Structure 1
Amino acid sequence: MKTLILNGSPRENGDTVSLIKELTKQLPGEYIIVNAYKCNVSPCIDCRYCWQHTGCSVKDEMQEIYSCIQECDNILIASPVYFSELTGKLLDLGSRLQTYYCAAAFRNEKPVLKEKKGAVVLVGGGDGHMEKAYSTARILLHHMNCHDIHDLVSSHNTNTIPAADDTNAIRGINSIVSFFINSQ
């Protein structure tokens, strides 16, 4: 089993990462964590190369991520919520999935053949709403051929309770692990 984890947090020891660590210590098989703030991935520039060609005209670390997407069995999107949305760097990375959309919409191709399981973990201080970020994450997962998506797991009061101490979030992480394991 191979799991791709897209981490949208800029904080190396923050609440999002604490939940990712909880997941990875239980998760069997191989996992790859892509930190959106540390990888060299530019946002989509709408050059329309992918309207007629496979892949993307921008050559950066996204090429490796495309390979991971093709190979993996599960994909987790984990992010803090900023202004009711995924973080900007994670959205930059997500915008590069435009090549998958264009493959289906313009070239009548299925860009990601292997079906996957997906899950979303969101963390927030409590002032915003998670619905928009969850909706965006689900759209990104769909473009990566994840149609069986676990219910949202969130920790939404991290200004007062660290995510690592949020029993509902930890139960949710345990549920994601079971979901990913039972998908094989």
Structure 2
Amino acid sequence: MKTLILNGSPRKNGDVAFLLEQLVSLLPGETVRLNAYTSGIHACEDCRYCKVKPGCSIHDPMQQLYRTLDTFDNIVIASPVYFSDLTPPLLAIGSRLQASYMAKRFRNEQMFPRLKNGAVILTGGGDGNLDPAWDAAVKFLRLMNARNIAPLAAAQHTDHLPVSEDRQAQDGVKVIARWFIDHAGSSGTGY
């Protein structure tokens, strides 16, 4: 089992990192992490290159991600929630999945033919709503051809409950790990 983690947190030892460490400790196989803040991946420029040609005109580390996405069985999107959404660098990576959408919509091609499993981990405090962040993450997972999506794991009260004490969030991560293990082998080719 091979898992890609797209980490949208700028904090190396923050709430998202805590939950990701727990998840990685429970997963068999290889785990590859990509931090959105240090990735060097730029946002989509809406140049329309991908409307008529495969791939993307922007030559940055996203090209490597395009090439390797179909080697993963599972994809995790993990992010703190800023103003009810994913962090801007993670949204920038997601915007580059426009190439996948355009391939299907205008060229009837599947950019990532291998089916994958997906999961979302969100953290936040305050009175924001997690739904917009969840919706964006699921859209991005679908554009990477993740069809089986695990239940959300979330720590929604980090302003007064440290994630290290949030049993519900930690249990959510355990559910994701178990879910990936139970769904191993359900990835493959299809759409």
Per the alignment, residue 42 of structure 1 pairs with 42
Partner of 2:90: 90
Contact 1:52 1:107 in 2 (8 A): yes
User: 1:14-29 to 2 correspondence within 5 Å?
Assistant: 14-29=14-29
Q: Give runs of aligned pairs for residues 49-128 of structure 1, distance below 5 A.
A: 49-128=49-128
User: Which string of whole-angstrom CA distances, capped at 9 and with x for unpartnered residues, describes residues 59-97 of structure 1?
Assistant: 111112112311100000000000000000100010000
**Residue 16 of structure 2 is aligned to residue 12 of structure 1:** no
Q: Tell me if the contact between 1:117 and 1:148 (Cα under 8 Å) persists in the aligned partners.
A: yes
How far has the Cα of 1:164 moved from its partner?
Answer: 2.2
Q: Is contact 1:43-1:95 (8 Å) kept?
A: yes
Mapped pair 1:137 → 2:137: yes
SS in 1 for 2:56: coil
Distance in structure 2 (CA, Å) of the matches to 1:164 and 1:147: 30
Deviation of residue 39 (structure 1)?
A: 0.7
Alignment root-mean-square deviation, CA? 0.8
Q: Where in structure 1 do 4 or more consecutive aligned residues deviate above 4 Å? A: none
- For 1:106, what is the secondary structure of its paired residue? helix
**Sequence identity of aligned pairs in percent?**
47
* Other-structure match for 1:177: 177
Aligned partner of residue 115 in structure 1, secondary structure:
strand
Question: Distance between the aligned counterparts of 2:13 and 2:127, measured in 1?
Answer: 21
Residue correspondences, number: 184
Q: 2: distance between equivalents of 1:17 and 1:67?
A: 26
Question: How far 1:126 sits from its partner (Å)?
Answer: 2.9
Structure 2 distance, partners of 1:164, 1:68, is 33
CA contact (8 A) 1:7 1:36 kept: yes
